[in-house]
Structure 1
């Protein structure tokens, strides 16, 4: 059996696609799966899940682009950082990493609150929820976060608490390709992990823009399936940020991240 720690797995994740869907690995996971595999209002958090997340993550507010935001993340001081990935009982915790595309988007919203002020915002592939939190801090009137991993939804509730925010609504179904509400702004970071996903995102976002005149902002540090995709011809760079040294080290040496405005 190959033992692979989260430090290595994080690096691999920046190069290829991974499924973030929660998996039941034993009978003890069952109650938590049932609790979070649904729409989350943000008002309830299972005590067992709270205890697990608080025990196995660390509160971080430095080493990234948004020191204003406190997050529970997986760090080298956490048990599962050095342990083999198979020991994480609820599926791969990609929500527990603050990815560079999300960092850039969150930084941009905090620096330019007029982009989201009094707007209805959907954060697609929200992960730890930092970008959704940045939207709330910047005055968005309504924020919904979407991530297909139900544990990510639970972690987002804790992160809202850390930042003294009323929890936003979390959706855990796959929204790509579906008809959803009329949003003023859709934000997504670090989502272009494969050619198929890039194609699906491209068409789905294009439909939203053409149907609802939705504004779309994309954060990405330069992943191959993003920089080589035909969507590049329809992007306007709005901001670029140098990544911190720690973020560079965990993302194959990527030195910067860019926020793009998608304009088909």
Structure 2
């Protein structure tokens, strides 16, 4: 079993992933797995818990890659600003924000494995990011200038809850940027498209080897 410590989770990640450059953000280096099913099963076995959600921290998903690419190409979006990387997964978006000159990044994800993955990936990229595994959706978003969210619309109830939370943060003054590859529950109405990319991926993760993926914002 995995030791319930940060060190134990880090050791598991190091043993079951390898350093890779995501195809759409080759400037970044992340500890990533090659296949979904084996590491998913190993995580369940190591934790002695069946029915865990997929290990989102172990892959660079299309929405996150697109959003990270946009931030790297448009550093003015985050330079010197307080940033929240919501549902951070591997931390690809938050790391891109730090590389682009963000003043401070808080990565948030309810999967505590993401904290371990983030710490390893930050070290690999020479940046520092704070992390919380608290569920932020039941309270107003913490004070931030920018909120970044990639691949957040996998499930209908959660997608609506997240979009409502982001809309509230937007009303309070935060700039909201969302990366999405056309998920079924992503609400395009009322959003402004900022950029569109063709993100290389694999059929292990998606339904095609290239996903048309966009970056959106909530208009002023």
In the superposition, the TM-score normalised over structure 2's length comes to 0.89
| Residues matched between the structures, number | 212
2:33 is the alignment partner of 1:49: no
2:199 is the alignment partner of 1:243: yes
- In the TM superposition, residue 139 of structure 1 has moved relative to its aligned partner by 0.5
Q: Does the aligned pair in 2 maintain the 1:125–1:146 contact within 8 Å?
A: yes
1:123 to 68, 78, 85: 85
Residues 214 and 203 of structure 1: is their aligned pair in 2 closer, same or farther, counting only changes over 3 Å?
Answer: same
| Deviations 1:88-145, CA, capped at 9 Å, x for gaps | 2245422101110000000000000001001110000000001000000000001000
More strand by share: 2
Runs of 4+ in 1 over 6 A off after TM superposition: none
1:171 to 110, 113, 132: 132
- In the TM superposition, residue 50 of structure 1 has moved relative to its aligned partner by 2.7
The gaps in structure 2 that reach 5 residues or longer are none
Q: Does the aligned pair in 1 maintain the 2:94–2:107 contact within 8 Å?
A: yes
Distance 1:100 1:59 in 2: 18
In the superposition, the TM-score normalised over structure 1's length comes to 0.75
1:67 to 26, 41, 47: 26
The gaps in structure 1 that reach 5 residues or longer are 1-27, 36-44
| Deviations 1:135-162, CA, capped at 9 Å, x for gaps | 0000000100001111111010000111
Residues 183 and 194 of structure 1: is their aligned pair in 2 closer, same or farther, counting only changes over 3 Å?
Answer: same
1:233 to 158, 171, 189: 189
Distance 1:66 1:143 in 2: 19
Distance 1:188 1:127 in 2: 10
Q: Does the aligned pair in 1 maintain the 2:40–2:55 contact within 8 Å?
A: no
Q: Secondary structure at the match of 1:69?
A: coil
- In the TM superposition, residue 49 of structure 1 has moved relative to its aligned partner by 2.9
Q: Does the aligned pair in 2 maintain the 1:145–1:170 contact within 8 Å?
A: yes
Q: Does the aligned pair in 1 maintain the 2:140–2:165 contact within 8 Å?
A: no
2:166 is the alignment partner of 1:205: yes
Distance 1:197 1:73 in 2: 25
Distance 1:85 1:168 in 2: 26
RMSD: 1.9
Distance 2:166 2:88 in 1: 16
| Deviations 1:193-214, CA, capped at 9 Å, x for gaps | 122112211221111111x211
Q: Secondary structure at the match of 1:243?
A: strand
Q: Does the aligned pair in 2 maintain the 1:122–1:186 contact within 8 Å?
A: yes
Q: Secondary structure at the match of 1:225?
A: coil
Q: Secondary structure at the match of 2:13?
A: helix
1:1-264 alignment, distance < 5 Å:
28-29=1-2, 31-32=3-4, 35=5, 45-46=6-7, 48-62=8-22, 64-76=23-35, 83=38, 85-88=40-43, 89-90=46-47, 91=52, 92-165=54-127, 167-210=128-171, 212-226=172-186, 229=187, 232-244=188-200, 246-247=201-202, 250-253=205-208, 255-263=211-219
Q: Specify the structure having the higher radius of gyration (Cα).
A: 1
Q: Is 253-262 or 116-125 further displaced after alignment?
A: 253-262
